[in-house]
Amino acid sequence: MSAPVPLEVGITRSAGPSTSGKRVLLAEPRGYCAGVDRAVETVEKALDKYGAPIYVRKEIVHNRHVVDTLAERGVVFVDETDEVPEGAVLVFSAHGVSPAVHESAAARQLRTIDATCPLVTKVHQEAKRFARDDFDILLIGHEGHEEVEGTAGEAPDHVQLVDGPDAVESVTVRDPKKVIWLSQTTLSVDETMQTVQRLREKFPQLQDPPSDDICYATQNRQVAVKAMAPECDLVIVVGSRNSSNSVRLVEVALGAGARAAHLVDYAKEIDPAWLEGVETVGITSGASVPEILVQGVVQFLDERGFHDVQSVTTANETLVFALPRELRASRRS
């Protein structure tokens, strides 16, 4: 989906040459995407407008630090709508929800604010459209992920989950001439294409989605990691273990040539043994990770002799999503 990017492209040196030979390659872009930024700001603005407690179904985004910080401000995270007092304010997370969840919230007269990422909403609309046309929809994604549950819930009689290339063998359809694939937005681009290739071998008339389902931010972060990984003895991905796109970055780094790669929520989780014999460390972060956590890793490494920090820039992101309509008037200038 994306051409290899030479490591030299976009490198800027932010510190003088290291006398020890130790260096850090800092992936750009990294961290917050437009959908996450919108979701987190939605909860913050809801707190400002309605006061605590504000309820959020599931985690607003998959990041421990973000969730803990919001909880300290009076956000209550719940698994289902029946845990929310009738008439209270409930925010739906960035991952989206099924129509059944909307109906359950309405039955309890909850004041809902939908923070679903617009790119996830796009996949929901595609599922509804192709279900209306009576297609079998093969949804590539991870079983149990909230985004997959929300998308599949739009057309449960037409959607079949395909959890990776090895799941293709068990897929059956009613009419091989009316089959389309959609995908979870946070998957590995390469693995998704492997799954699609296997599906196409089984169903030659398989149709592609009208536009790319894997989000721009997920793709951009994977491209940046691919650019720097061959130069890295170690890649540290900042992100939570329930963050699909963060976990994928570890896999992408290893697949692209990094000798080792690890996922951490905080710098304090880095095992100093990982740094033994290491000269080049790559750092990136998942799309739901605030930059303060990345800088904590940079500082951790600086204290251990990694003073030379270079940025590996493969794309510039400028996309911004508007807040939900209930909160737009109060958006910061």
d(CA 246, CA 231): 20
Arithmetic mean of pLDDT, 81-86: 98
d(CA 117, CA 220): 17
Supply the pLDDT for residue 330.
Answer: 44
34: closest CA among 324, 243, 332, 321?
A: 321
Arithmetic mean of pLDDT, 321-333: 77
- 238 has which bridge partners? 264, 285
Residue 321 has pLDDT above 50, yes or no: yes
Q: How far is C-alpha 241 from the chain's CA centre?
A: 11
Q: Chain-wide mean pLDDT for the chain?
A: 93
Supply the pLDDT for residue 1.
Answer: 34
CA distances from 251 to 76, 140, 291 (A): 33, 17, 21
Arithmetic mean of pLDDT, 50-73: 98
124: closest CA among 93, 147, 145, 158?
A: 147
Reported as a pLDDT band with limits 50, 70 and 90, residue 58 is very high
Residue 5 has pLDDT above 70, yes or no: no
Supply the pLDDT for residue 15.
Answer: 39
Residue 106 has pLDDT above 60, yes or no: yes
Query: Looking up tokens 């437009």, which residue turns up?
Result: 34
Supply the pLDDT for residue 20.
Answer: 64
Radius of gyration of the chain (CA): 21
Query: How much is the pTM?
Result: 0.91
Residue 307 has pLDDT above 70, yes or no: yes
Reported as a pLDDT band with limits 50, 70 and 90, residue 12 is very low
For 201-240, what is each residue's pLDDT tens digit? Answer: 999 999 999 998 999 999 999 999 999 999 999 999 999 9
d(CA 244, CA 71): 22
For 256-268, what is each residue's pLDDT tens digit? Answer: 999 999 999 999 9
Supply the pLDDT for residue 328.
Answer: 87
Question: Of all helices (H) and strands (E), which one includes residue 128?
Answer: helix 118-132
Mind telling me the catalytic residues? 147
Strand ranges (DSSP E) for 72-121? 75-78, 89-92, 111-114
For 123-166, what is each residue's pLDDT tens digit? Answer: 999 999 999 999 999 999 999 999 999 999 999 999 999 999 99
d(CA 12, CA 5): 15
Residue 14 has pLDDT above 70, yes or no: no
